[in-house]
Structures are given as structure tokens and as C-alpha cells.
A and B are shown apart, each in its own frame.
Chain A
Amino acid sequence: MANLLQLLRRGDPARPRPDSLRRTRVEVPTEPPTTDALFLVLRQMRAPLVVVVAVFALMTFGLSLMPGTEENPQPLSLFESFYVVSYTGLTIGFGELPHAFSTQQRMWVMLTIYSSVLAWTYSIAALLALSQNRTFRQALALQRFSRKLRAVRTPFVLVVGYGRAGEAVCRALEEQGRAFVVLDQDEERVQQLALDGYLTDHPGLVGSGRDPRMLGLAGLGRDQCEAVLALTDSDETNLAVVMAVNLLRPELMVIARSANREHAQQMHDFAADVVVNPFDRYGAYLVMALRRPFSFRFASWLMSRRSAELPHHLEHLAEGRWVVCADGSFGVEVTSDLESAGLDVVLVDPAHGKPDVSGAVGFVAGAESDIVNLAMAAHARIENDELFVAVRQNSTVNEAPLAAFDPDSVFIPTELLAREAVARITSPHYWSFVDHVLHEDDDWCRRVMEEIVSVVGAETPVSARIDIDVAHAPAAVRWLRSEQLLVGDVLRDPDDREVRLAAYPAVLVRAGRRTFTPDLRAPLQEGDILLLLGREADLDLIASTLFNDSAVEYVATGREVATAWIFRHLQRWSWSRRGRHSRLSDAPEHRPPFPPRPPV
């Protein structure tokens, strides 16, 4: 019954993004702000080259006028002069050709040597200076980047801002085997991308996300671009990215980070798919942990790689005073979240020394500095041993001491942001389920989590997406054309249909509408997408079942159908004598080639 209600209330169709504010279609600009490298070389080398040519021309001309010796009174011809000046000017020196020179000729050759060497050194120095020139190197880097980008043939994600959050996102994307391109305005960060030891070489470009041309250069206009992440630490830049994507490529998914509500609202105006404010999110999680402990446990179990068990005695914490010691917008966000949940909160500025935590039940150390946070948390723990301590961790540098201190909750803004952003891109259906868990009430979460744990065990489950279509489940599709296949049948062991495999149906997507925790007795249709949570081996087994006609018939009906042609005929003959029949056709159907697995 609850399922039906969900369908009405939050059966969000997984449609492409809503129409943007775009009124006319404009090509994504890719005109490079800097010029290309060869052009720069040519432009800069004009003067040196002209000097070299002029010196050689003048010296050749002069040499052809100098009178010769008494034996050979003819001056050198123009050709001979040019020959002599060429080897002399290039400091090769063959001596005096075609015959010994007169004094005048020698004087001229001496002049030639000095002037031509000067001209050469000038032009070489100009070339070296050019290779050190910042604009020139940027132009070279840009050309290298464009070459690399052209080589990217797979769909890629454009990551704007390669700070801590960007790095975490890129790591996660690489784990998922996704291609990505990085745009950051800090040259050092882009160099860091090359040094960070990814398995493959990912293109990185130095440029500001505020410049749509830079976004275009970084691949916004390419068909392979599938999503854009705006993760810079400047809200305005992130807003600029969201605007550019919405107006130039409205069909792309865009996820942005924001630290203040005003900007978040503006991003939503431009139809950003998701705006993640890690500060706000943390406050919400904290409130959830206090008010809806089961939802929180369930959600963190689904989101974590290692099952983070939370202390169970959180309920009483909702009844006392909370002290938040933080600066900047983090303190404001957390305080407002806790207050809106009806808690008694005191916000203290870290600059005012050690906060007074006597009589408090919870303490949040949220300063910008990890050292200050750890010091405050330690002091709070000394003063009040029963205190619930939450610590904000700003960088990975102090991970070890903080882990040893073992606070009750650790807030790592970048990790929170990265986890959510990557999950949304790589497994939208899985994330929709997590999102659903975040918003459901405690009883539902408790019930469903117990169900899942009873089926798949206490470890965080793996998710798999099952498409009921000709490409991914040909046998199931053939079966469905004449018969019925239930969701529960798919989860049966193809060796013994009474055994339920370690898999739990989390989401059923039909015609773009999501049903969460579908009933096991619900019949499947062609074109459905089923998101399963479970153990990897069992999920693979389910995927293979859907390719095998006999296995599908067996899990659906319990009839064991022979797979070999001759045995099937024998079986059919023996069954026809007993008045039974299989519904399998004889003609082997042409199967399409197996496409790569879509994201979960």
C-alpha cells in the first residue's frame, strides 16, 4: 500500500533536464583566447630573421665588389661571394675559395664574420626567449590539450575546479572507469593532475570557468561531454559555469557546489540538476542522526564503503544544549539546521577562546583550521567526558591524529561533496534510492534495512542494474512476450528456484517512473529497469539467467527444460505423450551483440 502512495507522491520520471532559459540556439564558443603557437613564433621571429637576411645580403654584395689579387684581379662573382659568406657566416670556415683573397677581400670577410655572428646570436637568443615566454608556453599547452581532447572518444565528465573536492571526484570517477577533463585556473593544480598518479592520462587545461570560451575549449561543445561539475571554491565561478551550461548545452547534467543560499537559489534558476552545499548537508545529516537514527544509519550504510556504525545512544542528545564553535558560513548553516530541528544551540566564535561546554550534550568544532578544531575538541572532551563531539576536517594532512582522537562524528566537506556528485553521475538510480531513504520516515527505513540485511548480510551491498530488453535480457524478453515473469522470479537461484539469491530489488523503473522497493509479486514488463542491491556473485548469476531460455522458464515455472536440441525434442516427445508441453520455440533467435553495461 505504501508503495502506491510513493508512486503518486514522488514518482519522479527520470526525464532529461527541464527546458532551460535558452531562447535561441548558440554554438558553444571555442575561439582560443590565446593565439596558436606557430603564429606566435612567426610573429616574434620576424625582426631577427630580417636582420639575418639583411646582414647576409649586404655582406655578399660587398664581397662581390672587393677587387681581387694581382694574379686574379676579377672580384668574386655574386654566387661565389654568397658561397663564401654562407660558410663564413655560419662559422664553418673553408678558407679562401676559389683562390687566395686580396687584402680588401680579407678585410671585408673579417667584417662579415663579426656582423653575421652577431646577427645569428641575436636571432637564437630571440628564439630562446620566445620558448620561455609565458604566452607561448600557454599556447603550446593549449594545443597539446586540444590534441588530447580530440583523442577522447568515450563520454567524459567536465570537472571545473581541481581542488580537494575536484580531486576526490576525479579519483572516484577513475575508479568507475569514467573519462574526465579538468579545467582549473591555477596552473599548479593542473600540473598536480599529471602528478597525482591516475592510471590514464587525463587532459587538464589552465583557464577560468567564468570564461565560456574556456569551457568550450575544455570540451563543453563536444558530443561526448555528458555532465559538468562546478567544484571551484568560488560560488560566483560555479554560478557562471551553471549559466553557461544551461544556456549553451541545456541537455547536459550539471552539478554545482555552493556555500551560500543566495547563490544556490540563482543556480536553481538556471536549472542546475543538483546544488550541493556541504555545510548545509552536514547539518541536515547531524539532525537526521539525532531525530531519525534509523534513516541515518540506513543512508550512511548505503553510502559508505566501510560500514560506519553509529553510536546508538543519540536520541537523548536531542534534549540538551548544543555548542557550535565555528567561523564563516559553516557555523551559520549548522546552527540554523539544528535550531530548525528544535534543538537548543549556542554559536561561538573560535576567536573568543575555548568555548564553555559544561552542561552541554553535543559539541561541533567547525573552525577553518584542523589544529584549532582538534584542540577545541580535546578541551571539550576533558571538560565533559559524556559529550558528543563532531569535528570538521579540512584537509587530509591531519587524518591520522584525528582518527586516533576518534570523535563521534567527522565532517569532511570535500568527501561529502565528491561522494554525492559521483554517485549522481555514475549511478543515478542508486542515488535516487539513497535520496529516497534520506526523505523517508524512520519506521520505513528500519523495516527496509532489516529486510535488506536479512537477504544480503550486514556488509554494504553492491548495486547492479538489470535492463529487461533484447540486448541485456534476451531470454527474459522472449519469455515475456507470451508469459509472465515476476520480480521475485528473477531473484531465484537458477539451480534451485526455492533458494532466494542475495539480492534485493531496490528500484523498479518503468517508462521513466521509479517505484521504490517493488513488490516481489509484481510482474515485469519489457523495457523495465530493475536496480538490485546484493552480493556481486549473485547479481552476476541473475544477469546470466536472463540470457538463458531454459533458466528463465525454470525460475518462472519450475519446469526443467533441456537446452540441447536433441534432448529438447526427446523431452517434447515424452511430454506430448503425457499431455505437457514447453512454451519454448525451437528457432534460435538472432541475438544482438552484447553492448557495454549501462551505469547502475
Chain B
Amino acid sequence: MNLEKVVFGFFVLMAATLNFGYVLGDMSDPDMHNAYELYAAVVVNIIATILKFGDRTQIGAVHLATSLVASIQLIIATLVWVWASHVDPAEVTDAHMSSVVSIAAGALLANIVSIVLLVVETVSYRRR
């Protein structure tokens, strides 16, 4: 068993599952989207990105790219949420919430690609 692969796979999957959990539910309803879940998704995505540093294979480079996309999308979603809850006097409206969730949903797409890559890599991996 390769511990590096275990940790790596754990974080990639975790990033996607948290992201998925946050996006799930009615888009415009703030009660259905926990801020802590978004927060956790951002943290885990950033860690997953760091773990992909320094892989020189072709698939590693694509991994890093998708991971960066997901992280950037989630950070943007977070910034929109911060704006809505702290800056805008109207507090978190439906419009705000739906834009946050849609951006996070974009990140989910990137995370799904990440998982597909992970699976492809695992399937094509042979012990030499």
C-alpha cells in the first residue's frame, strides 16, 4: 500500500464530496447551504492542490490544473458570500445565495473531472 496515494486520493475525494454537499439543495435558500461546509470545501481543495505540486507526469499536470480551477472557483464563491453577509446592507438575499451556489457548482464540475482523472490513473496503473 502506498501511503502517498492514500492521502492524495483521500483529499481529492474529500474536496469533491464537501463541494457536492454544499451545492446540494435549493439554490436560492441560504438555510440549505452551510457556510462551514463551504469553508471546509475551500480548505480541503487548497490542500488537495498543494498535494498535486511537483508531479511531473502529464496526468499530474492536468490534475494540478483542475484542482487550481476548483480552488479558485470556491475562493470566488467565498468572497461573494463574505460580500453578501458582511458588506451588503440587505444581508444574504436569494440572488446572492444562488450566485454563490452556482459558482461553487462550477467548482464541483472541476472536482468531478479530478475524480475521473484519479480513477483513470488508478485503473491504468500497473505494478511494474
Within the complex, the shortest CB–CB distance from B75 to chain A, in Å, comes to 12
Q: Given A78-B35, A79-B86 in contact, is the A45-B53 Cβ separation under 8 Å? A: yes
- Say yes or no: B82 contacts A79, CB within 8 Å: yes
- Say yes or no: B53 contacts A46, CB within 8 Å: yes
Q: Is A15 in the interface zone, CB < 8 Å from B?
A: no
Q: Is A8 in the interface zone, CB < 8 Å from B?
A: no
Chain B residues 23-37 with CB under 8 Å of chain A are: 35-36
For B39, give its contact among A46, A49, A53, A78 (CB under 8 Å).
A78
Please name all residues of chain B whose beta carbon is closer than 8 Å to the beta carbon of A61 when the two chains form the complex: 36, 39
Please measure, in the bound complex, the distance between the C-alpha atom of A54 and the C-alpha atom of B51, giving whole angstroms: 13
Question: Which residue, of A45, A49, A79, has the highest number of chain B Cβ atoms within 10 A?
Answer: A79
Among A35-43, A242-250, A425-433, A474-482, the stretch in contact with B: A35-43
- Say yes or no: A50 contacts B47, CB within 8 Å: yes
Please name all residues of chain A whose beta carbon is closer than 8 Å to the beta carbon of B50 when the two chains form the complex: 46, 49-50, 53
Question: B46's closest neighbor in chain A, by CB?
Answer: A53
- Say yes or no: B86 contacts A77, CB within 8 Å: yes
A-B contact count (CB 8 A): 42
- Say yes or no: B43 contacts A43, CB within 8 Å: no
Contact mask for chain B residues 60-77; partner A; CB cutoff 8 A; 1 contact, 0 none: 000000000000000000
Chain A residues 29-60 with CB under 8 Å of chain B are: 35, 39-46, 49-50, 53-54, 57, 60
Within the complex, the shortest CB–CB distance from A295 to chain B, in Å, comes to 61
Within the complex, the shortest CB–CB distance from B108 to chain A, in Å, comes to 20
Please measure, in the bound complex, the distance between the C-alpha atom of A371 and the C-alpha atom of B91, giving whole angstroms: 92
Q: Is B128 in the interface zone, CB < 8 Å from A?
A: no
Please name all residues of chain B whose beta carbon is closer than 8 Å to the beta carbon of A39 when the two chains form the complex: 54, 56
The 9 A-B pairs of least Cβ separation, nearest first, read A43-B54, A42-B54, A42-B53, A57-B43, A79-B82, A49-B50, A78-B39, A39-B54, A50-B50
Chain A residues 506-553 with CB under 8 Å of chain B are: none
Please name all residues of chain A whose beta carbon is closer than 8 Å to the beta carbon of B43 when the two chains form the complex: 53-54, 57
Chain A residues 45-96 with CB under 8 Å of chain B are: 45-46, 49-50, 53-54, 57, 60-61, 64, 77-80
Q: Is B85 in the interface zone, CB < 8 Å from A?
A: yes
What would be 23 A-B contacts, judged by CB atoms less than 8 Å apart? A39-B56, A40-B54, A41-B54, A42-B54, A44-B54, A45-B53, A46-B50, A46-B51, A46-B53, A49-B50, A50-B47, A50-B50, A50-B51, A53-B43, A53-B47, A54-B43, A60-B39, A77-B35, A77-B85, A79-B82, A79-B85, A79-B86, A80-B86
Please name all residues of chain A whose beta carbon is closer than 8 Å to the beta carbon of B46 when the two chains form the complex: 53
Please measure, in the bound complex, the distance between the C-alpha atom of A80 and the C-alpha atom of B82, giving whole angstroms: 9
- Say yes or no: A54 contacts B47, CB within 8 Å: yes
Question: Which residue, of A41, A43, A46, has the highest number of chain B Cβ atoms within 10 A?
Answer: A46
Within the complex, the shortest CB–CB distance from A132 to chain B, in Å, comes to 19
Please name all residues of chain B whose beta carbon is closer than 8 Å to the beta carbon of A46 when the two chains form the complex: 50-51, 53-54
Question: B7's closest neighbor in chain A, by CB?
Answer: A50
The chain B residues found within 8 Å of chain A, CB to CB, are 35-36, 39, 43, 46-47, 50-51, 53-54, 56, 82, 85-86
Please measure, in the bound complex, the distance between the C-alpha atom of A225 and the C-alpha atom of B76, giving whole angstroms: 52
Within the complex, the shortest CB–CB distance from A78 to chain B, in Å, comes to 5
Please measure, in the bound complex, the distance between the C-alpha atom of A53 and the C-alpha atom of B51, giving whole angstroms: 12
- Say yes or no: B36 contacts A78, CB within 8 Å: yes
Please measure, in the bound complex, the distance between the C-alpha atom of A49 and the C-alpha atom of B53, giving whole angstroms: 11
Please measure, in the bound complex, the distance between the C-alpha atom of A35 and the C-alpha atom of B55, giving whole angstroms: 11
Within the complex, the shortest CB–CB distance from A123 to chain B, in Å, comes to 11
Question: Which residue, of A42, A45, A80, has the highest number of chain B Cβ atoms within 10 A?
Answer: A42
Please name all residues of chain B whose beta carbon is closer than 8 Å to the beta carbon of A64 when the two chains form the complex: 36
Please measure, in the bound complex, the distance between the C-alpha atom of A40 and the C-alpha atom of B55, giving whole angstroms: 10
Please name all residues of chain B whose beta carbon is closer than 8 Å to the beta carbon of A57 when the two chains form the complex: 39, 43
Question: Which residue, of B35, B39, B56, B86, has the highest number of chain A Cβ atoms within 10 A?
Answer: B39
Please name all residues of chain A whose beta carbon is closer than 8 Å to the beta carbon of B36 when the two chains form the complex: 61, 64, 78
Please measure, in the bound complex, the distance between the C-alpha atom of A42 and the C-alpha atom of B68, giving whole angstroms: 15
Please measure, in the bound complex, the distance between the C-alpha atom of A261 and the C-alpha atom of B35, giving whole angstroms: 81
**15 further A-B pairs in the complex, CB-CB below 8 A; given A44-B54, A46-B54, A49-B50:** A35-B56, A39-B54, A41-B54, A42-B53, A50-B47, A50-B50, A53-B43, A53-B47, A53-B50, A54-B43, A54-B47, A60-B39, A77-B35, A77-B86, A78-B36
Question: Which residue, of B46, B50, B51, has the highest number of chain A Cβ atoms within 10 A?
Answer: B50
For A43, give its contact among B39, B53, B85 (CB under 8 Å).
B53
Within the complex, the shortest CB–CB distance from A42 to chain B, in Å, comes to 4
Question: A45's closest neighbor in chain B, by CB?
Answer: B53
Please measure, in the bound complex, the distance between the C-alpha atom of A54 and the C-alpha atom of B85, giving whole angstroms: 25
Within the complex, the shortest CB–CB distance from A122 to chain B, in Å, comes to 14
Please name all residues of chain A whose beta carbon is closer than 8 Å to the beta carbon of B39 when the two chains form the complex: 57, 60-61, 78
Please measure, in the bound complex, the distance between the C-alpha atom of A506 and the C-alpha atom of B36, giving whole angstroms: 91
Please measure, in the bound complex, the distance between the C-alpha atom of A41 and the C-alpha atom of B50, giving whole angstroms: 12
Within the complex, the shortest CB–CB distance from B50 to chain A, in Å, comes to 5
Please measure, in the bound complex, the distance between the C-alpha atom of A146 and the C-alpha atom of B30, giving whole angstroms: 56
Please name all residues of chain A whose beta carbon is closer than 8 Å to the beta carbon of B51 when the two chains form the complex: 46, 50
Please measure, in the bound complex, the distance between the C-alpha atom of A66 and the C-alpha atom of B82, giving whole angstroms: 19
Please name all residues of chain B whose beta carbon is closer than 8 Å to the beta carbon of A49 when the two chains form the complex: 50, 53
Please name all residues of chain B whose beta carbon is closer than 8 Å to the beta carbon of A35 when the two chains form the complex: 56
Within the complex, the shortest CB–CB distance from A464 to chain B, in Å, comes to 54
Question: A48's closest neighbor in chain B, by CB?
Answer: B50
Please name all residues of chain B whose beta carbon is closer than 8 Å to the beta carbon of A53 when the two chains form the complex: 43, 46-47, 50
Please name all residues of chain A whose beta carbon is closer than 8 Å to the beta carbon of B85 when the two chains form the complex: 77, 79
Please measure, in the bound complex, the distance between the C-alpha atom of A39 and the C-alpha atom of B55, giving whole angstroms: 8
Please name all residues of chain B whose beta carbon is closer than 8 Å to the beta carbon of A77 when the two chains form the complex: 35, 85-86
Please name all residues of chain B whose beta carbon is closer than 8 Å to the beta carbon of A44 when the two chains form the complex: 54
Question: B38's closest neighbor in chain A, by CB?
Answer: A78
Question: B11's closest neighbor in chain A, by CB?
Answer: A50
Within the complex, the shortest CB–CB distance from B85 to chain A, in Å, comes to 7
Please measure, in the bound complex, the distance between the C-alpha atom of A79 and the C-alpha atom of B80, giving whole angstroms: 11
Please measure, in the bound complex, the distance between the C-alpha atom of A41 and the C-alpha atom of B36, giving whole angstroms: 32
Question: B85's closest neighbor in chain A, by CB?
Answer: A77
Please measure, in the bound complex, the distance between the C-alpha atom of A49 and the C-alpha atom of B36, giving whole angstroms: 22
Within the complex, the shortest CB–CB distance from A140 to chain B, in Å, comes to 16
Within the complex, the shortest CB–CB distance from B3 to chain A, in Å, comes to 13
Within the complex, the shortest CB–CB distance from A40 to chain B, in Å, comes to 8
Please measure, in the bound complex, the distance between the C-alpha atom of A84 and the C-alpha atom of B42, giving whole angstroms: 18
Please name all residues of chain B whose beta carbon is closer than 8 Å to the beta carbon of A41 when the two chains form the complex: 54
Question: A80's closest neighbor in chain B, by CB?
Answer: B86
Please measure, in the bound complex, the distance between the C-alpha atom of A473 and the C-alpha atom of B86, giving whole angstroms: 84
Please measure, in the bound complex, the distance between the C-alpha atom of A54 and the C-alpha atom of B39, giving whole angstroms: 12
Please measure, in the bound complex, the distance between the C-alpha atom of A42 and the C-alpha atom of B85, giving whole angstroms: 36
Please measure, in the bound complex, the distance between the C-alpha atom of A77 and the C-alpha atom of B54, giving whole angstroms: 35
Within the complex, the shortest CB–CB distance from B64 to chain A, in Å, comes to 9
Within the complex, the shortest CB–CB distance from B91 to chain A, in Å, comes to 12
Please name all residues of chain B whose beta carbon is closer than 8 Å to the beta carbon of A60 when the two chains form the complex: 39
